[in-house]
Amino acid sequence: MRAQIRPAELQTWLSSLPAGARPVVLDVREAWEVQTASVQAEKGFDLLCIPMGELPQRLGELPSGRPIACLCHHGARSQRVADFLAYNGHTSVVNIAGGIDAWSREKDTTVPLY
């Protein structure tokens, strides 16, 4: 099981990364979910949206060697994706526990709940 961070802890995680590391927040929800509620790329990370079901075929789109924080609705899908990425050689992967729901409650209340 991969490490878990809460949305409120994201900045602490970003600060703990080596200098020059540009992490990716990987949103693994379906397109309609991202349209309903999404995070905005912030200073310190890039945002990439690839639905969980498409990830095996699109694995090559993930930048190698960059830290990845996986995000979904509540944290279950993203946890499976984080484990999948680790199994496939990504060494710095965490799960954003509580997903976009917790993101809205803890980090950015402008993100709609659904």
Using DSSP, state whether 85 is helix, strand or coil: helix
pLDDT at 1: 65
What is the per-residue DSSP string for 45-66?
-EEEE--GGGHHHHGGGSPTTS
Q: For residue 71, which amino acid is it?
A: L
Parse the chain into domains and list their residue ranges: 3-106
| pTM for the model | 0.95
Regions in the chain scoring below 70 on pLDDT: 1
For domain 3-106, is the CATH number 3.40.250.10? yes
pLDDT computed for residue 20 by the predictor: 86
- C-alpha closest to that of 90 among 67, 60, 61: 67
pLDDT at position 19? 87
Strands (DSSP E) along 8-53, which ranges? Answer: 24-27, 46-49
